Structure formats: C-alpha cells, structure tokens
Amino acid sequence: MKKKIGFIGLGIMGKPMAINLIKAGYELTVYDINQSAVEEVAALGASKAASSKEVAEKSDVIITMLPNSPHVKAAVLGENGVLEGARPNSILIDMSSIAPLVSQEIAAKVREKGMEMLDAPVSGGEPKAIDGTLAIMVGGPEEVFKQVEEILSVMASSVTLVGEIGSGNVTKLANQVIVALNIAAMSEAMVLAQKSGVDPYQVYQAIRKGLAGSTVLDAKMPLVVERNFKPGFRIELHIKDLLNALETGHDVGAPMPLSSQVMEMMQVLKADGKAGDDHGGLIQYYEKLANVEVGK
C-alpha cells in the first residue's frame, strides 16, 4: 500500500513536484498560504488542509518545500506546525534549500517526537520539477532513505544519499556555488564576445560541446539571447543560497572568494529591482557595466 503523503509549499518548484506525485498515484494532502495554488493542485486530486498540523495528521510522509530556514522552522516547529499533528514513526522530508545547521536543529526536535527526518534539497529548476527529472541530494539515516526512495524517484532522475542529516544541504550549497560561478563565467564571456563584435550565440554553439560546455550553459544561454528572464530560479533565492554557503564556509573555515564576488553582483541586481529575475539574468550586471546587450 502506498504511503499517504503531505506536501507543504506549492511554489514554483513545489507545485509541479506535488502534481507529479498525484500522477504517480499517491494520495496527497496539501497546504500553502497561497490558496490559488492549493486549489489548482486540489483540482487534480489532492486533499486540502488548513495548516501544516492538519497535513501531518493525515500523512505518513510529510514533504516541505519552502523558501528558507525560517519558513521551514515555522512550518515544522511553530504553532499549528507539523510536530503538533505528526503521527509516531512518520517521516519528514525537507526538500527546501536551507542552512545545514538548521536541518540538524530541526531533525533533533523531530526525533524527540518519535519521527524521522531527511534533508533532501533539489537541483534542476522549474523545467525539471515539471518533467520529474530533478537531482535530489539526501542527508539522513540510510534505513529511512530506503523507505522513501521510491517517492523521491517520482520527482527526480537522480536521487543520491550523500551522508547524515545536513549533508543534503551541504551538497546543495556546493551545487549552488558551481551554478552561480558558471552563470557569472558565461556572462563575462558572452559580454566579451558581444563587445568584440562576435555573435554570442555562435560563440555558444562553437564552445558548448568542448571543455567549456555545461548544463548551465545549455540551460541559460538560449534564454539570455531571447532576453527571457522569467524565473525558473529567482536571483533573490540564489542570493539566499549563497548567503547560506558563505555562512557555512565561515563556520567550517572554507574560503569562498569567488562566491562572495558573485553574491555582490546579485546584490547589485537586487538593488536594481531585478531580484525576481531568473538567475540567468546575472548577465545584466555585466551588460550594464559594458553598455551592451547580449542577443542574437
């Protein structure tokens, strides 16, 4: 018998992830402060809940997909939160991207209630959330992971247990550092091409199968040349991830000079009113300095 799943957080990523679980035949109870998102998922077969507590009361596995550490703490530990309604032996899977130390803090409280927890952040953005091909990096006990691996696989093409609780979010931070630096490198290179009078899209086509090619380049460069900065992953959320990465780096003594530079570039765009743009919109930082626009 399939486990009953609760899903808290139906944003850009969470909504398509929840929909894929419904399509796979899971019984879902959902909650979000955005009622229109709840109604949309309910129309596809999910049950509606009025709080995180009610979600937990009706679920064997509770998934949270929320913006940042304070939102997860409120949903799990706060008033009308998951811990107030959770069944003994239920499993909390936090798929948000939050600080690793916060994951460990929440997990300790979860275990006190007789529950288990995994931190399982995702990578891939909205397109991969929609088609169920996310990469999921998981931290927590292997025996708990085995119980929910099938559920996670509905939403992903790659599901990897990387270590104990918090390891998933350390892995996600590493991922976000690499993605941010890739986007910055692409932006710097393509503004150089445009400023030099060489078609940036042809430069992209020439280098994409070589050593400079990457998933990031293939995902973002076509959008840049179309001037499409509709968010698959917003700049303001990448700022949040880089902040968590920098704080974690400071805590453990890992130098992060390149990440700090890209963080400042994103902060400039945020101050310029572009916090809601896709993180591929980082190229606008370089374009403004060079007084040029990259396009076909």
The residues assigned a catalytic role are 172
- The Cα–Cα gap between 77 and 52 comes to 10
How do strand 91-94 and strand 122-123 relate by DSSP bridges?
unpaired
- Give yes or no for a contact between 160 and 142, defined as CB atoms under 8 angstroms apart: no
- Give yes or no for a contact between 278 and 219, defined as CB atoms under 8 angstroms apart: no
96-128 burial string, b = 16+ CB within 10 Å, else e? Answer: bbbbbebbbbbbeebeebebbbbbbbbbbbbeb
- Give yes or no for a contact between 165 and 140, defined as CB atoms under 8 angstroms apart: yes
Element (H, E) at 295: none
Residue 63 pairs in a beta bridge with: 7, 93
Torsion of CA 201, 133, 119, 113, to 10 degrees: 150
How do strand 28-31 and strand 47-48 relate by DSSP bridges?
parallel
- Give yes or no for a contact between 46 and 28, defined as CB atoms under 8 angstroms apart: yes
Residue 63: phi and psi, rounded to 5, are -105, 130
